[in-house]
Every structure is written in C-alpha cells, then in structure tokens.
C-alpha cells in the first residue's frame, strides 16, 4: 500500500532533496537539475502526491493566474478574442480565468473587485467603455498589472492593444464610393462601445475629405442586442423610403439586423445592377461570411491583437515592475469583399 504524503515537507523527505528545491520545482520544473527533477517526480509517482496549486500560487511572488474580462461573451467578436487570448495564456504557462460583465457596469466592478482579492499575476481587460465606472477602473489598474484590449480608456492600464478603427471606415467608405454612390452611415443613437464613436468621426472626416455630405442615421436602442436594434432601426428607416442605395453599418451585428429587415420587405441587397441596396459594415463578425448575401466588411486582425496583448502582459509580469511608458498599439483593418456590396 502506498504511503500517503500530505505536503511538500514530506515530499522533500521522500525524495531526499531540500524543501526549497521541491518548492522551486513546482514553480518551474526546468529550474532544477534533471537528476533532481527525476528524484522528485519518482517520489510524486510513488506516493501519488497532488500539490495544492492554490496554496503554491498564494505563497509565491509570481502567481500563474491571469484574469480575462470582456463586456459580453455572447458577442462573437469578444468570444473569438477571448478564446484566442485564453489559449495563448495557457501556452505561455499561465492559468487563465474568463469573466464577462454582460454589459452591466456594476457586474464589471464586482468582477474586478473579486479579481483583486485573488491577487492574479495580471489581467487582460476589455472594458465596457462608456458605461464603465472610470474611478473604480483606475483604482483596479493601479493595484493589478492590467493590459486593456479593444476599448482604450486613456491613461488606464499599462498598455492598450486593439484595432485602428479609422482604418475600418476609411477602407469601407473608399470602396463604396469607388464602386457606386457615397454611403449613409447607420449606427446606434447610444453606442455601447467607444469604438463606435471613432468610426462615426472617421466617416464624417472621410466623407468631407472626398467632397461628399455625411449622412448619419442613429437608431434608438441601448445595450448589446445589436441585431434586434439594427432590425428595428432598418424597418423604421425603410418606412420613410430608401434614402440611399449605399448603406455603411457601424458594425456587422447591426448589418445582420438590417439584412433581415430588407429581406422581409422584399428588397435585394448586393452588387448587381438590379439590386435595391448595397450594404457594407465593419468587424468581420465570425458569421459575416454566412449571411445571405455574405457581408462585405473590414476585418479585425484577431491574431495580432490577441498575440500582442498576451505577450505584453507576460512581459509585464515577468519584469516584476510597471512598464516604463504606457504603450498603445492599434492594428489596421483588412477589407473583405463579399456579395452584399
């Protein structure tokens, strides 16, 4: 019958090595000599020892726990970013835990308060943005190494990594103007995310620079149910007639709602001469290529944003002190031409 050992002191005696060396092994197996590692692992197998990982993390300077916080895991964009970041954290040797505030500012703060009490090595945070409690976010970022992803709140966190929202709209406007009439911009009256503000501002500036009058339709609605808001807003807009043949939606989820409303009204969307509307949008939502017609859109560089975010946080964690300057990195979009325009 195998003798059970209860802690690392007993494992040290069983393996014939010092207690500090056993602790060092559990922090980083490659940090001890191969022969020593073999003795420890032989004792682990012989006595079926299972370490208390939580206790190990609490007793070391550098834990391996990382928090990932996003505004809404039901949003396919954030689900894709979170999935990529989670996998990269695991590959880097960290233990990620996923959280979603589901568009609720109070829940976002409760998540951050809970994370702070767990003393994670660091956090990758995609904040709500407009609805976030900025004072509480600032307090959190001062106490926990934090890298912001997707939405930039100036001065918070030690770095921001996201997409260049100007490049999204510049490319889609240029394409629509080059291939037809200038577009109307379709958005929510109350955007949930600061990126939407940058896209509207870019649309106005781009249309002005090209000698066209900007035309913006802001539809009622608040929150993260973008498809429903786009659907209702498109019906309201089309009740007044078709204002322009070219429509540029602020994001793909609004565009999906618009496509549904157009279909119900018997309107054809596409690039053919007989089609009623041309529709383009921004983000390259994971389902954008499966809509009918498939969406022309400007795509995030999911891989670059995810990889750089994790690399920056790992660098900060391993450095053990704050980055010398706050870093900001924005990756340009890539125009994806499909059948909707």
If you average pLDDT over residues 81-96, what whole number do you get? 93
Residue 20 lies in a domain: yes
Give me the pLDDT at residue 130, please: 81
Pairing of strands 296-299, 334-336: antiparallel
23 shares a domain with 91: no
46 shares a domain with 25: yes
234 shares a domain with 254: yes
Say whether pTM exceeds 0.95.
Answer: no
- Confidence band (pLDDT; 50, 70, 90) for 84? very high
pLDDT in tens, 328-338: 999 999 999 99
If you average pLDDT over residues 144-148, what whole number do you get? 95
pLDDT in tens, 108-144: 999 999 998 888 999 999 998 888 888 999 999 999 9
If you average pLDDT over residues 38-54, what whole number do you get? 76
149 shares a domain with 31: no
pLDDT in tens, 220-260: 998 889 999 999 999 999 999 988 899 999 999 999 999 99
Residue 14: CATH number of its domain: 1.10.260
Give me the pLDDT at residue 4, please: 72
Give me the pLDDT at residue 182, please: 97
Residue 309: CATH number of its domain: 3.40.50.2300
- Is it the case that residue 56 has pLDDT exceeding 70? no
Give me the pLDDT at residue 144, please: 93
* Phi-psi region at 136: left, alpha or beta (left = phi > 0; alpha = psi -120 to 50): alpha
- Is it the case that residue 61 has pLDDT exceeding 60? no
269 shares a domain with 177: yes
Give me the pLDDT at residue 1, please: 46
143 shares a domain with 255: no
Q: How many CB atoms lie within 10 A of CB 151?
A: 19
Give me the pLDDT at residue 192, please: 79
Structural domains of the chain, count: 3
147 is in which domain, residue-wise?
65-164+303-333
Residue 223 lies in a domain: yes
Residue 340 lies in a domain: no
Residue 339 lies in a domain: no
Residue 200 lies in a domain: yes
Give me the pLDDT at residue 2, please: 54
Residue 108 lies in a domain: yes
CA distance 121 to 83: 19
CA distance 305 to 310: 9
Higher pLDDT, 55 or 207: 207
101 shares a domain with 204: no
Higher pLDDT, 177 or 133: 177
Give me the pLDDT at residue 54, please: 45
143 shares a domain with 35: no
194 shares a domain with 97: no
Residue 175 lies in a domain: yes
CA distance 152 to 112: 17
pLDDT in tens, 253-311: 999 999 999 999 999 999 998 999 999 999 999 899 999 999 999 999 999 999 999 99
CA distance 120 to 110: 15
Average of per-residue pLDDT values in the chain: 90
171 shares a domain with 159: no
Residue 1 lies in a domain: no
CA distance 262 to 186: 14
> Which residue in this structure is represented by tokens 């924005």?
330
């Amino acid at each position: 019958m195998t003798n059970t050992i209860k802690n690392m002191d007993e494992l040290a005696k069983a393996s014939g090595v010092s207690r500090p060396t056993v602790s060092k092994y559990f922090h980083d197996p490659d940090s001890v000599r191969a022969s020593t590692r073999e003795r420890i692992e032989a004792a682990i197998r012989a006595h079926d020892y299972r370490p208390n990982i939580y206790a190990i993390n609490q007793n070391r300077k550098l834990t391996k726990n990382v928090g990932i916080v996003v505004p809404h895991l039901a949003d396919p964009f954030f689900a894709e970013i979170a999935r990529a970041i989670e996998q990269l954290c695991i590959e880097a040797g960290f233990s990620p835990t996923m959280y979603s505030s589901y568009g609720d500012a109070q829940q976002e703060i409760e998540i951050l308060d809970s994370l702070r009490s767990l003393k994670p090595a660091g956090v990758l945070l995609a904040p709500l943005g407009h609805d976030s409690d900025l004072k509480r976010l600032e307090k959190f970022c001062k106490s926990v190494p934090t890298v912001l992803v997707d939405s930039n709140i100036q001065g918070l966190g030690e770095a921001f990594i996201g997409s260049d929202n100007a490049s999204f709209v510049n490319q889609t406007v240029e394409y629509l103007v080059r291939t037809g009439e200038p577009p109307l911009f379709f958005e929510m009256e109350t955007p949930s995310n600061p990126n939407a503000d940058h896209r509207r501002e870019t649309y106005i500036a781009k249309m002005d620079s090209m000698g066209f009058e900007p035309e913006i339709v802001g539809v009622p609605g608040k929150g993260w149910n973008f498809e429903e808001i786009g659907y209702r807003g498109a019906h309201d807009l089309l009740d007044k007639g078709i204002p322009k043949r070219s429509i540029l939606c602020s994001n793909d989820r609004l565009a999906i709602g618009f496509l549904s409303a157009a279909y119900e009204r018997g309107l054809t969307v596409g690039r053919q001469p007989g089609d009623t509307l041309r529709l383009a949008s921004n983000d390259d939502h994971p389902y954008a290529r499966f809509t009918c017609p498939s969406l022309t859109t400007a795509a995030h560089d999911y891989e670059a944003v995810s990889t750089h975010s994790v690399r920056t946080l790992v660098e900060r964690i391993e450095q053990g002190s704050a980055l010398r300057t706050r870093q900001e990195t924005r990756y340009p979009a890539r125009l994806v031409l499909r059948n909707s325009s």
